[in-house]
Amino acid sequence: MTTAAASPAIGSTVSRGQETAETEYQQLMHDIFHDLSQPLSTLTCLLEVNLLVSRPAKSTRHDLQIALKQTQSVMRLFRGLRELVEAGDSQQDQQVLNLADCLGEVVADFLPVAVKRNVKVALFCEANASSGKCLVNFQASRLRQGLLRLLEFALEGCPGGTEIQISSAADGAVARVMVAVPRVQPSEVVVAKAGAHGNSVASADDFINVKQHELKRRLALAVARRIFEGAYGSLHVQKGANALCLEVRLPLVSKPQ
């Protein structure tokens, strides 16, 4: 059974931030649809030109390369849009899961990606969490997806040489996951990535990608938020001077059903 006071308490917290979250969700949907229009327009123009005008093989090949890149962009945006919509679907086949154990598994899978980016990951689980007292009612695949998207958001905001701090705890009727990320500007991440690829100065294309980079981060955070809120939880973001702190709160269950 679930703890009687857990869902109302979490529900109250969710309702206070729901308006802001819904505004961000609607804005993100608008931005994705807007970004879809550019590659679709480019694809249309390329097809029209190549159908109406006889062009050298080299020019046609160049156009096909552009068309492929734009098609990949459309597919990426469409997958993101679909994931965002599906994240708000009600959960089915829920089971009692140890949040600390699930978090540990996700971090283990996530660690090679972070190492490749030269980002350290520190995981701390309080004794009451790791000893089986951090139980939540969740669909296993969706809990994993929500945690992965949360960590993806964190990693995409970290240049090399920084550290992501992750912890879990059981606190009263609530299970918590906390993620602390060094706070940097998107352009700093782009410049750092350019340097990692051997470029001393970020190119104009690198800075053009800042918008796509931020859209990817916003999408990851929005998907995570909708998944946790669908399980009567919440996701809070607190911006400090030097760090961005994320906190997920989920209602604890008293014992397996």
| pLDDT of res. 202 | 52
Strand bridging mode 120-125 / 163-171? parallel
Q: What DSSP string describes 100-112?
A: HHHHHHHHHHHHH
Position 125 scores a pLDDT of 86
Rounded mean pLDDT of 172-183? Answer: 91
Q: Which of 11-15, 134-138, 145-149, 167-171 has the lowest mean pLDDT?
A: 11-15
The yes-or-no verdict on residue 203 having pLDDT over 60 is: no
For each of the domains in the chain, give its residue range(s) and CATH number, in order of start.
Answer: 6-251 (3.30.565.10)
Instruction: State yes or no: pLDDT of 144 exceeds 50.
Output: yes
For residue 197, pLDDT beyond 80: no
Pair of tokens at residue 242: 């030097």
